[in-house]
Structure 1
Amino acid sequence: MSTILLAIESSCDDTSAAIIKNDTILSNVIASQKVHETYGGVVPELASRAHQQNIIPVVDTAIKNAGIKLSDINAVAFTRGPGLMGSLLVGTSFAKGFALARQIPLIEVHHLQAHVLAHFIQEPGQQHTTPKFPFLCLLVSGGNSQIIKVTSPLVMEIIGTTIDDAAGEAFDKCAKVMDLPYPGGPYVNKYAMDGNANAFQFNKPRIKDFDYSFSGLKTSFLYFLRDRIKENPDFIQQNRNDLCASLQKTIVDILMDKLIKASKQTGIKEVALSGGVSANTALREAITSQTKQRGWHTYIPKFSYTTDNAAMVAITGYFKYLKGEFATHDMAPFAR
């Protein structure tokens, strides 16, 4: 018997709704918020207001695109956290209201778990290979950098995490220093393609076990530019491509060194990549290169499933639906 779920994602500045039938996505609609570009970062109050404006049209479009009726929906899944509290409240409140009105189960989803399980999304008429358990997942986004050991869809263990800033933050904040638009990560990736990755050297932190740190890299990058600009005010403009390429290489090297170490120590050669930074070209190339060298079986999501989206919430909700893991209506969202 088929199970159809509505999923809601509103953890940051993208309002998204998806419809899934079993593990096959029928629609995935995302409304992005351009207002934050002016401020160089997400403004929480503006984000929550935009979610209020977007959520009903986005859900309506998702249902229409999926070609289903409201009565076909068996449950509604929503991102409970982590994220911006105001944004989460909009999605949570809508999901609760929808579930009450339709008298269907409510399923809460952890945002990071959803990023990992994006690898299990199937599409109509296609069947792609999914990771075999157990596997390691390198989850890299604007707010998180983690290595996760995944034993089953609902059993995960974080074996490495950032002790301060995430890789995505390092990309965005270093980009801001170079006066690149927000979000800076994609611009660093773009300019790096025409740069020399070995032109400049930046500090790599020495952190024990599988944990990450990127605050020292940001400081190193800032001081490096400060000193060079004293000598040449046009240094950034004249060396932008090389700066981006060298910064990107440093971040990717830091990420890959710990992932290689984790694979060696656990003996796991099933390796997946998730999160917004997984769209980075250099990181994808590094994973592909290590796959050949180390005999890994690697899994890289479609670009459309790397950023925040409701399809990943939907597949996570489906796994929880099968286990009967439903939420109560007094459940509150959490920011951290």
Structure 2
Amino acid sequence: MNVIGIETSCDETSVAVISNGKLTSNLISSQHFHVDYGGVVPELSSRAHLQIVVPLLKKALHESKLDIQDIDLVTATAGPGLIGALLVGFTFAKSLAYSLKKNFIPVNHVEGHIFSGFLMEDKPVFPYLCLVVSGGHTLLLIVNSDYDIIKLGSTLDDAVGEAFDKVSKLLGLGYPGGPQIQRIAENQNSDFVDFPVAQCKNEYDFSFSGLKTSVIRFIQKNYGKVENIPADHIPLIAASFQKAAVKALTKNVEKALNNFEIKTLSLVGGVAANKLLRDEFVKLASQFNKKLVIPSLEFCGDNAAMIAYRGLKLFEYLQNFGNKHDYFMNQNAYPNLNGNTFIRSL
């Protein structure tokens, strides 16, 4: 079975190939020009996807020593994401499958992240507790199987990655915010400011808009304007913010570890690249004696390998159960790109 995966949900164009269960290519083209605008410009993102997706496909096939006719299954991200960006990869992949008379499976982007740990040599063991953290999503989940995912909590406002981006922009550090804040906060006093961690009605939910507002108010109260912040205080504010953001995530994870029987702890998504967060997960796994799976950096951000892997699993499910599950009932309604999912509420 040779599987093509295509991911274009935001500002990374990615094409991957899984051949006979082995990842043989995972190409990622990042759109670095968005740095000049302080964030992703949807129209420019869509145009860039159009320009690079075909060359990436050709290169991925070449690396995998395959011809286009050797492909058995085509998969692509079907949402959530930027609508224009999604349409490029989704439409291209579906058209490719149609022209080759091959099967096509749409994949929910978040589910791709959830199962990205299975791309590693040491894989998660069900059931596992999974924290999904990115620029658009913050979710705490229990994954009982490939097709049974329970949502414990999610963000009520900003995703944690979005909060990093906004605070980074506020401090004049640039975009993307996560790497900038991590870089400048390294080895700094994170107790410089005691920023608050939100307490939500649902103990597993998250909220980051208040943390962002607290940073703004601290600056206004102590400096008046951002321009008045002493240069040596910016790393201290960044470190204090990062500490609070990570604490907001790990406190809920710790509650879940106390309340649910799981075998593995997993951290996935773009913000999983944050060193402080990864270190805290190592401590939690050790404290609770749980197996820990964090994907390598290549698989933390948006990538087609996770889409190809998840698409293959969904195809196997479809082969066994046909369209008896709701996930597959509305595949012809995908012009809305709603990204059907197995995730259900507790």
TM-score range, shorter chain: over 0.9
The amino acid of 1:263's aligned partner reads L
Q: 1:83 to 1:231 in 2, by over 3 A?
A: closer
**Are residues 1:15 and 2:8 paired?**
no
The amino acid of 1:80's aligned partner reads A
Once the two structures are superposed, what CA deviation does each residue of 1:167-187 show, in whole Å capped at 9, x if it has no partner? 101111001000111111101
Q: 1:187 to 1:290 in 2, by over 3 A?
A: same
Could you tell me which residue of structure 2 aligns to residue 125 of structure 1?
A: none
Could you tell me which residue of structure 1 aligns to residue 312 of structure 2?
A: 318
Could you tell me which residue of structure 2 aligns to residue 64 of structure 1?
A: 62
Give distance in 2, aligned partners of 1:334 and 1:97.
15
Q: Specify the SS of the correspondent of 1:288.
A: helix
Q: Specify the SS of the correspondent of 2:198.
A: coil
Give distance in 2, aligned partners of 1:182 and 1:19.
30
Give distance in 2, aligned partners of 1:22 and 1:317.
14
Given that residues 16 and 55 in structure 1 are in contact (C-alpha distance below 8 angstroms), is that contact kept between their aligned partners in structure 2? Answer: yes
Give distance in 1, aligned partners of 2:269 and 2:11.
15
**Are residues 1:137 and 2:135 paired?**
no
CA shift for structure 1 position 110: 0.3
Superposed, 1:57-136 pairs within 5 Å as: 57-121=55-119, 128-136=121-129
Q: Specify the SS of the correspondent of 1:238.
A: coil
The amino acid of 1:207's aligned partner reads C
Could you tell me which residue of structure 2 aligns to residue 273 of structure 1?
A: 267
200-209 vs 167-176, which deviates more? 200-209
Could you tell me which residue of structure 1 aligns to residue 199 of structure 2?
A: 206
Give distance in 2, aligned partners of 1:64 and 1:236.
52
Structure 2, unmatched stretches of 5+, are: 340-346
Could you tell me which residue of structure 2 aligns to residue 307 of structure 1?
A: 301
**Are residues 1:149 and 2:142 paired?**
yes
Could you tell me which residue of structure 2 aligns to residue 223 of structure 1?
A: 217
Q: Specify the SS of the correspondent of 2:54.
A: helix
Pairing partner for 1:334 from 337, 340, 346: 337
CA shift for structure 1 position 236: 4.8
Give distance in 1, aligned partners of 2:103 and 2:75.
9
Give distance in 1, aligned partners of 2:182 and 2:302.
19
Give distance in 1, aligned partners of 2:225 and 2:160.
29
**Are residues 1:185 and 2:164 paired?**
no
Given that residues 225 and 236 in structure 1 are in contact (C-alpha distance below 8 angstroms), is that contact kept between their aligned partners in structure 2? Answer: no
TM-score normalized with structure 1 length:
0.94
Given that residues 125 and 263 in structure 2 are in contact (C-alpha distance below 8 angstroms), is that contact kept between their aligned partners in structure 1? Answer: no
Q: Specify the SS of the correspondent of 2:86.
A: helix
Structure 1, unmatched stretches of 5+, are: 123-127
TM-score normalized with structure 2 length:
0.91
Give distance in 1, aligned partners of 2:313 and 2:50.
28
CA shift for structure 1 position 94: 0.4
What is the identity percentage for the equivalent residue pairs of Structure 1 and Structure 2?
A: 38
Q: 1:46 to 1:260 in 2, by over 3 A?
A: same
Could you tell me which residue of structure 1 aligns to residue 342 of structure 2?
A: none
The amino acid of 1:272's aligned partner reads S
Given that residues 79 and 108 in structure 2 are in contact (C-alpha distance below 8 angstroms), is that contact kept between their aligned partners in structure 1? Answer: yes
Given that residues 173 and 184 in structure 1 are in contact (C-alpha distance below 8 angstroms), is that contact kept between their aligned partners in structure 2? Answer: yes
